[in-house]
A and B are shown apart, each in its own frame.
Chain A
Amino acid sequence: MSEELIQRVRNIIANTQRIPVEKITIDSSFAELGIDSMDGVNILFALENEFNITIPDEAAKQIRNVRQMMEGVERLIAGGAADTAAVTS
């Protein structure tokens, strides 16, 4: 996972949750950060806008911590890039 991706996701969580970015590590659980279900939905919305991705409901339900969130975003970006490559080639 790229450092840039980690930073962007940390910033999104910090901005949405209105907590200092230093508090957020890749190993933070949502419970530690005080993220409840509605907060989680807000963060997903911000991530979708930031990365121009669509996070399916089923995938969203599985996410319980920052690492899973980052990995999910990474997969969706890679999937989107693959789709784009397929269209342009």
Chain B
Amino acid sequence: MQRVAVTGIGVICALGRTTGEFGRALREGRSGIGPIQSADCSNVRFRNGAEVPAYDHRPYFDDKHADFIDRFAQFAVIAAREATLDAGIEWTPELRENAGIVTGSCVGGQSTEDAGFHNVYKLGLNRVHPLTIPKTMANAGASHISMEFGITGPSYTISTACSSASHAIGQAFWMVRNGMAPLAIAGGSEAPFSFGILKAWEALRVVSPDTCRPFSKDRSGMVLGEGAAMLVLEPLEAAQARGARIHAEIVGFGMSSDASHITQPSADGAARAMRATLCDARITPEAVAYINAHGTGTQANDSSETAAIRAVFGPYAERLAVSSTKSMHGHALGAAGALEAAAAILALRDGFLPPTANFNEPDPQCDLDVVPNVSRNADFEYALSNSFAFGGLNAVLAFRKA
């Protein structure tokens, strides 16, 4: 087994269009949540989301290229470009042939699908655009990344709702660790702002009417987000040999299934995923200093996640820092785990604890150090990133300071 380094990071989300902008916003505790612009919310009970501000494809794709790529897959390619550039990869024919891509997406090209179905259901037209299927498919992100860089190795997409990107990064990590691929691009992307999807989330009654306040007693639900984050993973020795900058090491991945309820979280399932990750990383709970929580801001998740963390970490939970950066970049569903992995890596690399923004009032059900509102300087060795999906499919990643 090889040790695995993160040598490239790419991010586009409500907090910025580069990893640098993303990291600065996390440090400042600045929330990217605001009125939704890219979909009509006049008949939706909530108004706010975490969108990429004033996104337009033109700086990134010419019109002809953009016609073939839904917004969610555009985000995937934009993040992959930054990550590969950041990694300073020297593409050789052999590397292109064997490198892999694993992406996560929950809902795929929703705005494309929504527009196509609107034509036949609402407008009574007889045709849906022929690109509806290739733009909507959840694997379009991975496919367009492969074409962008000419990568022909093992590439696929994982769709496990809010855990998609963490499962994707975990699978890519294991592929590189086991020598199946000399390099992998892994992460997730999402662009869920379509009228139909917003109405569906409204019906579920879990979206906040104002903002996302994870772990705060007055929390009122999640806020949807969009964007992408991609990581470049390589064997640590090879990365060191070529003089690459190592942002962090990825050291553990664990999964579990709740097998209990299609929407209600289970503290037991979450705890088993965290334990599996510590076991995979061969570290003790006491080694971990920071957890980037799933922290959706719903009543159910945040108390259940707190119970899970207490079950795994015992008395040591008092000394952990646990924050939810969803308070700033929103809940980007299939991209969430990648944005949060990027946040955990930047926290390790740059020596700070990202805050839980919008925090008002401690909740006895969430009695952890949630780094309320203000980031802190902190030099630490290990961080976890939690993702717990609807459907009870959990994925947790562990990172180590380089």
Contacts and interface: CB of A to CB of B under 8 A. Distances in A.
Nearest to B207: A57
Contact of A57 (B205, B263, B300): B205
B45 interface: yes
A44 B202 CA distance: 12
Contact of B203 (A36, A45, A56): A45
A23 B179 CA distance: 60
Nearest to A41: B205
A60 B205 contact: yes
Interface in A48-74: 56-57, 60
A44 B203 CA distance: 9
A57 B209 contact: yes
Contacts of A41: 203-205
B251 to A, nearest CB: 36
B282 interface: no
Query: How large, as a class, is the contact surface on chain B?
Result: 10 to 19
A38 B298 CA distance: 14
Interface residues of A, number: 9
B120 interface: no
Contacts of A57: 45, 205, 209, 221
A38 B45 contact: no
Interface class of chain A by DSSP: helix
Interface string B263-289: 110000000000000000000000000
A28 interface: no
A37 B209 contact: no
A58 B352 CA distance: 37
Contacts, number: 20
A57 B221 CA distance: 10
B263 A37 contact: yes
Contact of A38 (B209, B221, B261): B261
Contacts of B204: 41
A36 B263 CA distance: 10
A89 to B, nearest CB: 26
B264 A37 contact: yes
A38 B264 contact: yes
B262 interface: yes
Contacts of B263: 37-38
Nearest to B299: A61
A36 B264 contact: yes
Given A57-B45, A57-B209, A37 B300 contact: yes
In the complex, the 5 A-B pairs of residues with the closest C-beta atoms, listed nearest first: A38-B263, A57-B205, A41-B205, A60-B205, A45-B203
20 contacts: A36-B261, A36-B264, A37-B263, A37-B264, A37-B300, A38-B261, A38-B262, A38-B263, A38-B264, A41-B203, A41-B204, A41-B205, A44-B205, A45-B203, A56-B45, A57-B45, A57-B205, A57-B209, A57-B221, A60-B205
